[in-house]
Structure 1
Amino acid sequence: MRTILRNLAGLTLLGLLAACGSQPQTPNTLTQADAQALAEAAQGDLQLTGAMLGDASTGALSTQSSVDSLDASAQAWGLPRRINLILRAVGVLYLPAMGSGSCSISTTPSPLVDADDDGVPANATTTYDCSYTGPGGTSYSLNGAISLQDTNDNQPYSGYGVTFDNFRSRASSDNRSVERTLNGSYSIDKQDATLFKITKNYTHTVTKTVFNNTYTGSLVFDVSKTYAPDNDGNSNPWDAGTFTVDKANPGSATWTRNNNTRNLIWYTDPTLHWNRAVCQNPLGRLMNFDSGAKEFVYISPAGEKSTLRIEFSGCGQFSVTLNGQPVE
Structure 2
Amino acid sequence: MKHKYLAGLTLTLLLAACGTQNPGSGGLSQQDARALSEVAAGDLALDGGLLADARGSTSLQAAALSEGAFNAIGYNLPRRIIHLLNALGAYLPPVGSGECSVTVSPPNFVDADDDGVPASITVTFDCAGTRAGGASYTTEGSVSLSDTNDALPLSGYSVSFNGFHTVVTRDDGTVIDRSLEGSFTLDKSDASLYTIAKNYSQAVSVTTGGNTYDGSARLEVEKTYAPELPDTPWAKGTITIAQDNPGSLTWERGGRVRNLIWYTDPTLHWNRADCASPARLLNYDSGAKVWVYTRPNGEQDTLRLEFTGCGEFTVTLNGGAVE
- Do the structures match in fold with TM over 0.5? yes
Q: Which residue is 1:53 aligned to?
A: 51
Give, in whole Å, the separation in 1 of the partners of 2:12 and 2:175. 10
Q: Which residue is 1:3 aligned to?
A: none
Q: Which residue is 2:83 aligned to?
A: 85
Displacement, 1:323? 1.6
Number of residue pairs matched by the alignment: 312
Q: In structure 2, which of residues 263, 269, 293 is the aligned counterpart of residue 267 of structure 1?
A: 263
Give, in whole Å, the separation in 2 of the partners of 1:302 and 1:259. 19
Are 1:124 and 2:146 counterparts? no
Q: In structure 2, which of residues 87, 105, 108 is the aligned counterpart of residue 108 of structure 1?
A: 105
SS at match of 2:32: helix
Q: Which residue is 1:327 aligned to?
A: 322
Q: In structure 2, which of residues 246, 253, 256 is the aligned counterpart of residue 250 of structure 1?
A: 246
1:27 to 1:86, Cα distance in 2 relative to 1, 3 A: farther
Report if aligned partners of 1:145, 1:164 keep a CA contact under 8 Å in 2.
yes
Q: Which residue is 1:296 aligned to?
A: 291
Give, in whole Å, the separation in 2 of the partners of 1:244 and 1:199. 12
Report if aligned partners of 1:64, 1:71 keep a CA contact under 8 Å in 2.
no
Deviations 1:109-151 (A, max 9, x none): 1112111111111111110111122132111111110111111
Q: Kindly, what percent of the aligned residue pairs are identical? A: 51
Are 1:144 and 2:141 counterparts? yes
Q: In structure 1, which of residues 174, 198, 201 is the aligned counterpart of residue 199 of structure 2?
A: 201
Report if aligned partners of 1:13, 1:37 keep a CA contact under 8 Å in 2.
no
Q: Which residue is 2:3 aligned to?
A: none
1:175 to 1:40, Cα distance in 2 relative to 1, 3 A: closer
Displacement, 1:185? 0.9
Deviations 1:280-324 (A, max 9, x none): 22332x311111111100001110111111111111111111122
Report if aligned partners of 2:92, 2:139 keep a CA contact under 8 Å in 1.
no
Report if aligned partners of 1:190, 1:197 keep a CA contact under 8 Å in 2.
yes
Q: Structure 1 length normalisation: TM-score?
A: 0.87
Q: Structure 2 length normalisation: TM-score?
A: 0.88
Q: Which amino acid aligns with 2:255?
A: N
SS at match of 2:115: coil
SS at match of 1:95: coil
1:300 to 1:120, Cα distance in 2 relative to 1, 3 A: same
SS at match of 1:35: helix
Q: Which residue is 2:37 aligned to?
A: 39
Report if aligned partners of 2:156, 2:188 keep a CA contact under 8 Å in 1.
yes
1:279 to 1:115, Cα distance in 2 relative to 1, 3 A: same
Give, in whole Å, the separation in 2 of the partners of 1:80 and 1:69. 17
Give, in whole Å, the separation in 2 of the partners of 1:212 and 1:227. 40
Give, in whole Å, the separation in 2 of the partners of 1:76 and 1:122. 21
Give, in whole Å, the separation in 1 of the partners of 2:175 and 2:70. 26
Displacement, 1:103? 1.1
Q: In structure 1, which of residues 175, 180, 183 is the aligned counterpart of residue 181 of structure 2?
A: 183
Displacement, 1:272? 0.7
Give, in whole Å, the separation in 2 of the partners of 1:28 and 1:100. 49
RMSD: 2.6
Gaps of 5+ in 1: 1-5
* Structure having greater relative contact order (Cα 8 Å, sep ≥ 6): 2
- Of Structure 1 and Structure 2, which has the larger fraction of its residues in helix? 1
Q: Which residue is 2:276 aligned to?
A: 280
Report if aligned partners of 2:250, 2:259 keep a CA contact under 8 Å in 1.
yes
SS at match of 1:310: strand
Give, in whole Å, the separation in 2 of the partners of 1:44 and 1:68. 16
Displacement, 1:36? 2.4
